[in-house]
Structures are given as structure tokens and as C-alpha cells.
Amino acid sequence: MKACNNLIIVILAAGKGKRMLSSTPKVMHKILDKPMIHYVLKEAYKLNPAKVYVVTGFGHEELEKYLNENYPMSIPVFQEEQLGTGHAVNMVKKYYDNTWEEVMILPGDSPLVKSKTLEDMYINQKGRLNAKDGSHRENFSCTLVSSIIENPYGYGRIVKNKNDEVIKIVEERDASSEEKKIAEVNSSIYCFKAGVLFDYLKNLKPDNSQKEFYLTDIIEEMIKDKHRVSTFKAKDMLEVSGVNDRLALSNAAKIMQRRINEELMLSSGVSMTDPELVYVGDDVIISKDVIVHPNTYIFGKSEIGKGCTIGPSAQLYDCKIGKNTSINSAVLIEAKLGENNIIGPFSYIRPGTITDDKVKIGGFCEVKKSKVGKNSKIPHLTYIGDTEMGQNVNIGASSVTCNYDGYAKNKTVIGNDVFIGSDTMLVPPVEIGNGAIVAAGSVITENVPDDSLAIVRGRQVNIEGGATKYRAKKEIEKNKGANK
């Protein structure tokens, strides 16, 4: 939507969310890899509003930190005591000036809302939606998004007259048994004329069973004074359903997961063998012809190149993966992999790892903060940390770069075309020259020059008949024991 210079968005996020039974503020509970409020903010910003205010309260430090790091253009407004949704909106009044035309209010606990619904509501509020003859109708004083739902329990009900005009909103706790039967519910998403909103909030009273200042109560007062209030039905009720407990949180997460996966499959050409078991964050970029297998999590700012195979059972956080790489049963964090890599099964790739093309990191291998050159292989049971490795290197099974001496991390440098025999300990700081070979079982504490063979182990001694003698001795001991 083009910039709406006079539109202000207020997101209500101060509530404790008692029904979550948690010490984390409700809107900071996660859906996939992001707190619930991220999804609301993201859709809100698509409208290009002049400003976005977020009302914070319970656990405000945690929420404000998140806003500061992720949405620094949003403005947190502290509501010290959570005295109700009307009281929460009134917190932003101190910023109100005559540039504000419309105030859109969004609950921070409705993460499934889509910007299209908000845009349509805004257009409706401006009176253009029904102006079939093209004439400009008078604005509404308020447009609120409602929804017809099968089980309206817990929601505010929209009470209407015979002409389908709103009379008031009544909350579950204050509703009569007749009113409880109403299936049209309040989504808590509204667009108000700014002046009208603050005028009516001034006189709001906590006349209800919870003794809270309900934003919903101003609707009845406005209608009594002949203000025009319009209800705008959301096409998809899921979009406006609020998350008030952990069951609703898990349902919302499932819907978000489906939305993201469907988009990837239908618009990005990504295959998923079982999308119900694939979890992708909404900042992730996946190129076409990628296949994602079950039990896979791709989160953070990850990017997956064309033709990769990810999973089964892969976890990627903030990783960049080159084309045609395959990752099976592995955990990767803040790593950048080249093209045609083969990772896993059972590999752990930690932050700062950068691989070139055609690298293999195999079973039970851990790589941390290391560079691995083109065509190099770390196939089995190995730890590589704080290492710079050249091209065409082969690391034998069970080898370790002993990067930590108990006090500091030290660096290992391995040149090109190096062969490290199995069970080698490289004790850094140490450098292995180009074309060098390190014999299996060596503990390398000194640099190895180019093309040298390094071997550090005791010479082998074969005692002829020694095994036979040993067994005979053991048999005698065993028989003595049995005769006791």
C-alpha cells in the first residue's frame, strides 16, 4: 500500500496473558522462530503507516529489547498497570497531534492477521469501498473487523439491530445467555477516526465484571451519538483469532507453518515430502528445486541455494547453503556452505564455519569456526575447530584439532593436498604444509613442512609367540581361581 501519512497503528501488547500460565509476556511467545508480535508488526508495516506504537506492560523490558533490535522504527509506549484495552489505547494519547487522521488498533495476540484484511478495512473506513458510483462517501467514525465463528466462546459479541447495524459489543463475561448465542465476534482490529477515538476514551468507565476499561465499550457510546460504525467481516476467521492460551498458540503456529510451506511449494518451486513436518521461518529464502524432507527446521536468516536436498532431520539456523548441497541429519548454526557439499548424517556445523565447493563433512564430525577448502573431506568422527584448511585435504577418521589448551583457543593451518592419517591429534598453534602427510595416530605439536611425512608414535614390536604365551598364562590363572 502506498504510504499512509495520516494513519497511525497502535498494537496492544501490554497484557500478561494470564491464560498462558507463563512468566514470558504473551506476545513474546514464539510461533516458529519468531515471537507472536513479529507477525503483527510485519503485516502492520506493509500498510506504510506514519507511525507504529506498541503498548507494552507486563515483561516490557523483554518486549522493548526485541522491538529495539528488530523493529527500531516502532515506538514502545509503557502501560504501567494493565487496566484494560481502552486504557491501553489511551496511553498513546500523549503523542496525538493534528496530523493523525485514522488510528488502527491491532491486538498483539492475533498473529495470523494479513495486511490485505487491514488494507480492505482501511479502504472501508475511508468510505470508498461501497461508493459504487465513484462518489466520495463520508468516512466512518470506526470500522471494526468481525468474524462469524462456530464457537464464539471467549470473544466479544457484536450485537446488531434488525437492520444489521451494530448497537454494541458485549464481552463473554458480561453477555446475557441470548447474547452468548451470537456468532459474529469482535476481532479487536479496528480503525477509528483519531479525534473521535480519544474523545470517547476520555469518558470510558470500568463498568463491567472485570472492572476494566474496555475499548469495546466506546462503540455503544459512539453509536448513541449517531457516529457511523461499520463492521467489516474477515473472510477467514482464522486470521483474526486471538491467541489466549498455549493450545491456541500451537494452533496458530500450525497455521503459520502451513502458510509458509504452501507459499514455498506453490510460488518458489520447493518440494516437501511431508510439509506437516517441515518448519521454516518466514525470513528464510529457499530457491527452486530444493527438496526438504521431514523433521527439518530452517530458521533465522537462512538461504538455501537451488537444487539442495535438506533433511530428513536437519536443523539450520542463520545458514547460507550453496547450490546442490545435501544435508542429512545435521545441525548447522551460522555457517556458510559452498556448492555440492555433502553434510551428514550426524554432523554438527557450528558458527563461523565456511566451506568451499565439493566439501564433505560426514558422520559424527563437528566443525567450528573453520574454513574448509574446495574438495576437502572430513568424513568420520572428527573435530575441526579454529582451523584454516586448504583444498583437496583428507582428514582421517577420529582426528582432532586440539584448539583449546584450557586457557585460549589456538589456530591450526592445513595447506592444500594434505593427508591426515586417522586418529591424529593436531595441537595448535601448528601448520601443516602443502602436500604433507601425517601418519595415523600421530600427535603433532610442531609445524610440518611442505611435502613432508610426519610420524609421531612408538615403533611397533612384534613378539613371536607372545600371544600364545599370554593366553596360556591367563588360562592357568583362571583354573586356579575355579579350584578355590
Instruction: Catalog residues that contact ligand UD1 under the rule CB under 6 A.
Output: 12-15, 26, 55, 57, 79, 82-85, 87-88, 107-109, 155-156, 169, 171, 185-188, 214-216, 242, 244
Residue among 104, 171, 199 nearest 142 (CA): 104
Residue-by-residue DSSP string for 368-395: ES-EE-TT-EEEES-EEESEEE-SS-EE
The alpha-helical segments, DSSP class H, found in 71-157 are: 85-90, 115-125
Q: Is residue 242 close enough to count as binding Mg ion by CB under 5 A?
A: yes
Nearer to Mg ion, 84 or 373 (CB): 84
Instruction: Choose the binding region for Mg ion from 21-29, 234-242, 298-306, 433-441 (rule: CB under 5 A).
Output: 234-242
340, interface contact from Mg ion, ligand UD1, none, CB < 5-8 Å by kind: none
Which of 29, 38, 60, 380 is labelled catalytic?
380
Residue among 381, 408, 409, 411 nearest 396 (CA): 381
Query: How far apart are CB 423 and ligand UD1 at their closest, in Å?
Result: 58
Query: How far apart are CB 208 and Mg ion at their closest, in Å?
Result: 16
Nearer to Mg ion, 130 or 250 (CB): 250
Nearer to ligand UD1, 54 or 395 (CB): 54
Residue-by-residue DSSP string for 425-441: EE-SSEEE-TT-EE-TT
Query: How far apart are CB 242 and Mg ion at their closest, in Å?
Result: 4
Q: How many residues of this chain bind Mg ion (CB under 5 A)?
A: 3
Q: Which of 33, 109, 212, 431 binds Mg ion (CB under 5 A)?
A: 109
Can you tell me the distance from the alpha carbon of 334 to that of 354, in angstroms, rounded to the nearest whole number?
9
Residue given cell 485514522 in the structure block:
102
Query: How far apart are CB 19 and Mg ion at their closest, in Å?
Result: 9
* Residue 271: burial class (beta carbons within 10 Å; 0-12, 13-18, 19+): middle
Q: Which residue is nearest to Mg ion (CB)?
A: 242
Q: Is residue 171 close enough to count as binding Mg ion by CB under 5 A?
A: no
Q: Catalytic site residue 227?
A: no
Q: Is residue 428 close enough to count as binding Mg ion by CB under 5 A?
A: no
Residue given cell 507459499 in the structure block:
263
Nearer to ligand UD1, 108 or 311 (CB): 108
Residue 37 cell numbers, joined: 508480535
Residue 16 cell numbers, joined: 500478561
Q: Is 211 helix (H, G, I), strand (E, B) or coil?
A: coil
Nearer to Mg ion, 243 or 314 (CB): 243
- Catalytically active residues are 380
